[in-house]
Amino acid sequence: MKFLQVADKQDMARKAAGIIAAQVLLKNDSVLGLATGATPVGAYGQLAKWCREGEISFRDVITVNLDEYCGLPETSPQSYRYYMNENFFNQIDIDPANTHLPDGMAADMDAECSRYSALIRSLGGIDLQLLGIGMNGHIGFNEPKAHFVMDTHTVALSENTREVNGVYFENPADMPTHAVTMGMREILQAKRIVLMAGKEKEAILHRALEGEVTPEVPASLLQLHPRLTVVFEGGK
């Protein structure tokens, strides 16, 4: 594991963006696994800036996102498709057809989960997976529970996640109860993982990286990954 401790959120964004840019420069048709949430917004902004300045191109990149809420159309500003378009895809030269998220509106969610798992396999897996971490140790929406779930699945969001993410909804009661997420095997099979964490995540990050490997802290499984880079806003 490589642990990069950075001074502030801007530094965290630049470091994570630099690692992603290096991946794309070395392999222009990289498969990038992407995350949403507050943490990676700055990194997406930095990458978009480098793209506008001609430093980097996403023309041949393929993206697969970790997760999506169930029941929110992509026109909803709270949907992860909307977030990705706004914060990243619409600002770079990527082919929109190469950007993938699970469809939280699918009529048959089991079929949708199988389709998404098959898609990831057909791409040959993920070259670089970007992750944030939930206050409860979730990655993607793999919530704490008694066992790890391996492949893409629907999940009932925990009370903690509904409370934390509910702030993005005008009426917190509109926060979806379910989501669809990549599973732990799909995440862990990524050739490289970059985990970003702001200083408010210090306690859970410590537990995940130095505590027991347990499905009660899903991010703890990352301890087993051979190429994990943590970018932590820890101050200096």
Interface ranges with ligand F6R (CB under 6 A): 35-39, 66-67, 132-134, 138-140
Nearer to ligand F6R, 60 or 145 (CB): 145
Catalytic annotation present for 165: no
Which SS3 state, helix, strand or coil, does residue 4 take? strand
**Among 103, 136, 151, 160, the one annotated catalytic:** 136
User: Measured from the CB of residue 27, what is the shortest distance to ligand F6R in angstroms?
Assistant: 23
Nearer to ligand F6R, 104 or 132 (CB): 132
Nearer to ligand F6R, 57 or 215 (CB): 215
User: Measured from the CB of residue 235, what is the shortest distance to ligand F6R in angstroms?
Assistant: 18
Concatenated DSSP letters of 14-57? HHHHHHHHHHHHH-TT-EEEE--SSTTHHHHHHHHHHHHTTS--
**Among 68, 143, 186, 233, the one annotated catalytic:** 143
Catalytic annotation present for 67: yes
User: Measured from the CB of residue 208, what is the shortest distance to ligand F6R in angstroms?
Assistant: 12
Task: Give Cα separations from 145 to 82, 89, 138, 152, 218 (angstroms).
Answer: 29, 33, 10, 16, 8
Nearer to ligand F6R, 11 or 60 (CB): 11
- Copy the structure tokens of residue 235: 């101050």
Q: What is the 3-state secondary structure (H, E, C) of 129-190?
A: EEECCCCCCCECCECCCCCCCCCCEEEECCHHHHHHHHHHCCCHHHCCCEEEECCHHHHHCC
Catalytic annotation present for 108: no
Catalytic annotation present for 90: no
Catalytic residue set: 67, 136, 138, 143
